[in-house]
Structure 1
């Protein structure tokens, strides 16, 4: 028999609940039992399944994230999560490592990454064909790639896109001006008691809810993705009519007569230029954040990196035309960030993935070399040469030339490129994500050397997105950091929870929706609830 739903584990020992179990003929359970033997059994079952799936894979990619804490001003410890991406498109959890508060040195990160690789595959390290990690570990990734030349180590695309907002805030005067003006406006409205009262009154009248304008809780340059700044801009923009009513209020007029800051804010709110500039900055931030969120959700492969950045550049160009923003400086900022993030594997995967083949005038489906720059074409040659064995490098290049001129049979190319509408998002997606790899293993078996490189390259993920620990996971680790038994139990709990979520393809971050609930409960109960989603069979 299995309970439907769930209860707090602190309730298991409550007399009323025990009496209920006794009445319906079920045995009583204790937290000690669930966090002891039952936890161990669940852990070993999950661990065995994960190890078997990794063992069955010819090769894999390691994904790690969490090197830089979301709460960058709090000094809290970072919990770095390691996962394993398999060629069949699935992912499994490996472990979580606490790195301590503050910045992590590149050398230390490099050691932890390599320790994770060897922990997964032992001496057969060549089975690990790459690592994808948070953007902040670029140097560690590069050093490992230099030492182990069969690896392709890349930075997470989500971080690359999000970093663009920071680039704009530093290098584009329009961004700085709008953020400074909104900070001045929000602080004035929130802190001047009479203005604050007027604002709340008119906000209730116009928008049917009250509250103050949200203001960033720390310096803008240390906010991970400028979410607090974005929230502030969104609040100010949504309250445009409210703020104009406040400025015309008699109480505000009296303050303006004596306070120069009030006069400045009043002029700002009545200025059409202020609102146009605010809308421009907010729209650009929304555009970039939206694409970053899509990337995190859809977890694209590295062959999609070049098309994604081309899409971003096109959207930014449209944004500039819409708001009459000069292209030059904006384009330079985007291009600079693109070059920082760029990896030669992007170009190689784009060329080798059959889903990007393009039909030419003769009807052939050929790799899209014409979409690459001259330097990117060179990158394809260099990367394929590096990934092939020294003895087979020249053969790989010869096969690449043949692939470039002959491509793939139109029938197979069209089959690989078939798309269908995703019922959840409404977007068109490749119907068979594994089609590209299957084509190389079957229809293109004549490319013996290039094929080995292709199937190890095109499955690589472009993001480090994976299981996200909620507040209770972090708190449990922090509380028991000096207890070997406590940390071991926390590792088991996290492993089971991560294994369950990845198995269900549930990569959502529960921190926001569960944060308040977790703060009201004990950490051990939270972790147990995370692990034992349903009551066990009894």
Structure 2
């Protein structure tokens, strides 16, 4: 009994709390509308607030606020306050309000006539009041008591006698006035000229407009400046028209010089930097970046700056294979374009790892040149497609099934019949009845085909067991093979295995692209990949030996000694031993990787400093870091976007070497340079319209035209990087509208280009 009473009391409290919240919400809405109306009356808001007035409806029993309504001060009609703009359009502009036309300036022929109205203002208030309050139970014949409590009634035109139209000559005047009012509503008066701005205000506004245009380059086109509505807007706000030539000449040069000076100042303040070279890989699918190579700069404080663009196709908008020696020249020319080449401590690029990057590293001992990890991990799909028999078999069998049902009309009709019989079989199959892919040379087609095949597994099993399918088997021998595949549970296990394999690698690639890992994270990243693939083998009963061999071959192809060195020098990976010390994780390195650490450290310093650096390395290996600082560096916090635990302060690793470990002078100099290096070249993405403007109708732009385009790209890219907007405009729009692109991963789309015919 007591428990029941307690539950009842709790329920009452919840109801009371809910009612209080509702009352507060109504009061807040009323106060907000009243504030908007007061500002509008002073000329700082919409015109219709002069005629519409918010009113508060109260509960007659409790006197609590019940609802907010809008009252027309011209005819006393009451409406919902949910959309004042719509109420104004429908009630005032469309002529529904009987007294609104009287406010318009009458024509000369009917200036002395009263406004056209219905027989009585009372009946008008009744009719329109009932429309606005039919759902609220308000009395439309008189003003409700709640309204009178807060707002006294208005006497608009109450003493005015209204005319009854009889159809005679005396009606011509009111009809003429009505026609004049309708014309005014259909053809509103032109907006008054814009405000008169001072020269300072005009210059400031045009400066902001110019900044927006340059920083949105690629999303906004030059013809937009000539749009009549844009010109009308400029005139309305009191700004002079700005010509396209003005945007492309003095303003562009001024803005470019400003952005360039800002960029170079940041580079001068940095002790060193890393050059990022992206775009060498030919995109088979993508965002129109073919023929555009981008150079960016990573600074130790985490800032990325855009440096320049290069068009290997000569500016004709087409991609062009660049020899490794030429790529090496372009990269080094970009490095020498800075004021101090020795501050460039490395390059990360998405191609030419084995030739151009290696040669530059040999010639300049202080450099660490890396290939992009995004490419390295993503290329595993191509490796599996070539070397894993399971992969080939699954793709071949899925192609056989899809081709059969799309080419055999009888089998397709049976499939459609089963799909339409019951709603539970209405699966999404892409192009009915199954996804038909003539070209499987890209990631999207492979992934879609596997997903669609798995989604219709149950339907296919019912189809091949149907009696009518036996007739198809007699006429087509392929039908027998398809039936055997569909009824074989091992086949479906293999399809799911390959589909999961692709999704595991795709997930790793997406994570790499989002996280943009540093060089010290490469070894843990590949170890995580190995663990995931080991779990995959165990789940689907796949022999681990061949899978490990494929991964190891790709690992060695992408491996760089800087991976091991940065892993050892990063305090984040220190391990606590039995004595309580935090020591570097040498036990996780192979013998060859330990030798790589020694070789790289001695290469990065002068001959006189080499032996000192090795001695400091031995000290670091035996003593490590004070437990207090080690624990502070390794503090993690949950990322609010991904939900994963991450290092709270990524810059702390370098700060430890610069402050706490100052006695390790030579080794510290190496550590602070290595620990900030990025392992990926992904960053700023161009909009497809960049390349559209580079080439017009297949014709190469002039040298002057290319220079202007490069300046525009420089301004826009640095603006995006400053705002940490690494995605393309297409991805942003897709995110806004909830669209998922089938080509969401350009890099993975190209992995099947060299795959053998399946």
**Range class of TM-score, shorter chain:** 0.7 to 0.9
Tell me: higher relative CO, structure 1 or 2? Use CA pairs within 8 A at least 6 residues apart.
Answer: 1
SS in 1 for 2:379: helix
For 2:323, the equivalent position in structure 1 comes to 105
CA contact (8 A) 2:516 2:679 kept: yes
Instruction: Please state how far the C-alpha of 1:246 moved relative to its aligned partner.
Output: 4.9
Give runs of aligned pairs for residues 312-323 of structure 1, distance below 5 A.
312-323=529-540
Instruction: Please state how far the C-alpha of 1:430 moved relative to its aligned partner.
Output: 0.8
CA contact (8 A) 1:75 1:102 kept: no
CA contact (8 A) 1:203 1:209 kept: no
Instruction: Please state how far the C-alpha of 1:106 moved relative to its aligned partner.
Output: 1.2
SS in 2 for 1:507: coil
SS in 2 for 1:78: coil
Q: Which of 266, 274, 294 is 2:491 aligned to?
A: 274
Matched, 1:492 2:711: yes
Structure 1 pair 421–178 and aligned structure 2 pair: CA distance change class (3 A)? same
CA contact (8 A) 1:162 1:292 kept: yes
* In 1: Cα distance, 2:429 partner to 2:535 partner: 35
* In 1: Cα distance, 2:250 partner to 2:527 partner: 53
Matched, 1:49 2:262: yes
Structure 1 pair 500–74 and aligned structure 2 pair: CA distance change class (3 A)? closer
Instruction: Please state how far the C-alpha of 1:60 moved relative to its aligned partner.
Output: 0.6
Q: Which of 359, 365, 381 is 1:165 aligned to?
A: 381
For 2:740, the equivalent position in structure 1 comes to none
Deviations 1:129-157 (A, max 9, x none): 11111145432111111111111111111
For 2:349, the equivalent position in structure 1 comes to 133
SS in 1 for 2:695: helix
Give runs of aligned pairs for residues 301-320 of structure 1, distance below 5 A.
301-320=518-537
* In 2: Cα distance, 1:156 partner to 1:386 partner: 22
Q: Which of 395, 420, 424 is 1:179 aligned to?
A: 395
For 2:253, the equivalent position in structure 1 comes to 40
Instruction: Please state how far the C-alpha of 1:85 moved relative to its aligned partner.
Output: 0.7
Deviations 1:479-529 (A, max 9, x none): 3634212212221222122112211111113445669xxxxxxxxxxxxxx
CA contact (8 A) 1:83 1:95 kept: yes
TM-score normalised per structure 2: 0.63
* In 1: Cα distance, 2:408 partner to 2:733 partner: 34
Q: How many residues align?
A: 510
Instruction: Please state how far the C-alpha of 1:447 moved relative to its aligned partner.
Output: 0.5
* In 2: Cα distance, 1:253 partner to 1:21 partner: 73
Q: Bigger shift: 48-57 or 256-265?
A: 256-265
Structure 1 pair 320–209 and aligned structure 2 pair: CA distance change class (3 A)? closer
Structure 1 pair 376–256 and aligned structure 2 pair: CA distance change class (3 A)? same
Give runs of aligned pairs for residues 471-482 of structure 1, distance below 5 A.
471-479=688-696, 481-482=700-701
Matched, 1:145 2:361: yes
For 1:93, the equivalent position in structure 2 comes to 306
Matched, 1:348 2:565: yes
Deviations 1:200-258 (A, max 9, x none): 676684456563155556463xx4xx333222222222332344455456776544332
For 1:410, the equivalent position in structure 2 comes to 627
For 1:529, the equivalent position in structure 2 comes to none
Structure 1 pair 360–29 and aligned structure 2 pair: CA distance change class (3 A)? same
Matched, 1:234 2:234: no
For 2:549, the equivalent position in structure 1 comes to 332
CA contact (8 A) 2:289 2:691 kept: no
Matched, 1:506 2:722: no
Structure 1 pair 260–396 and aligned structure 2 pair: CA distance change class (3 A)? same
Unmatched tracts of structure 1, length 5 or more: 516-538
Deviations 1:455-482 (A, max 9, x none): 1111100111111112112222233634
Instruction: Please state how far the C-alpha of 1:26 moved relative to its aligned partner.
Output: 3.4
Structure 1 pair 201–146 and aligned structure 2 pair: CA distance change class (3 A)? farther
SS in 2 for 1:146: helix
Deviations 1:42-89 (A, max 9, x none): 322222211111111111111111112211799995311111111111
CA contact (8 A) 1:400 1:450 kept: yes
Structure 1 pair 118–255 and aligned structure 2 pair: CA distance change class (3 A)? farther
Structure 1 pair 450–73 and aligned structure 2 pair: CA distance change class (3 A)? closer
* In 2: Cα distance, 1:488 partner to 1:285 partner: 42
* In 2: Cα distance, 1:149 partner to 1:7 partner: 45
Q: Bigger shift: 390-399 or 229-238?
A: 229-238
Q: Which of 579, 591, 598 is 1:381 aligned to?
A: 598
Deviations 1:2-56 (A, max 9, x none): 7899987534423344334323433333444334433333322222211111111
Unmatched tracts of structure 2, length 5 or more: 1-204, 314-318, 735-758
Structure 1 pair 20–378 and aligned structure 2 pair: CA distance change class (3 A)? closer
Structure 1 pair 203–165 and aligned structure 2 pair: CA distance change class (3 A)? farther
For 2:743, the equivalent position in structure 1 comes to none
CA contact (8 A) 1:77 1:478 kept: no
CA contact (8 A) 1:200 1:210 kept: no
CA contact (8 A) 1:367 1:403 kept: yes
Q: Which of 501, 504, 508 is 1:284 aligned to?
A: 501
Deviations 1:147-200 (A, max 9, x none): 111111111111111111111111110011111112222333344455556656
Deviations 1:340-398 (A, max 9, x none): 11111100000011111111111111111111111111111111011111110000000
* In 2: Cα distance, 1:168 partner to 1:332 partner: 11
Q: Bigger shift: 271-280 or 91-100?
A: 91-100
Matched, 1:25 2:238: yes
RMSD of aligned Cα (Å):
2.8
SS in 1 for 2:295: strand
Structure 1 pair 456–363 and aligned structure 2 pair: CA distance change class (3 A)? same
Structure 1 pair 83–196 and aligned structure 2 pair: CA distance change class (3 A)? farther
SS in 1 for 2:311: strand
Larger radius of gyration: 2
SS in 1 for 2:312: strand
Structure 1 pair 433–270 and aligned structure 2 pair: CA distance change class (3 A)? same
Q: Which of 154, 158, 166 is 2:370 aligned to?
A: 154
* In 1: Cα distance, 2:661 partner to 2:371 partner: 30
Structure 1 pair 174–445 and aligned structure 2 pair: CA distance change class (3 A)? same
Q: Which of 465, 468, 490 is 2:685 aligned to?
A: 468
Q: Bigger shift: 204-213 or 417-426?
A: 204-213
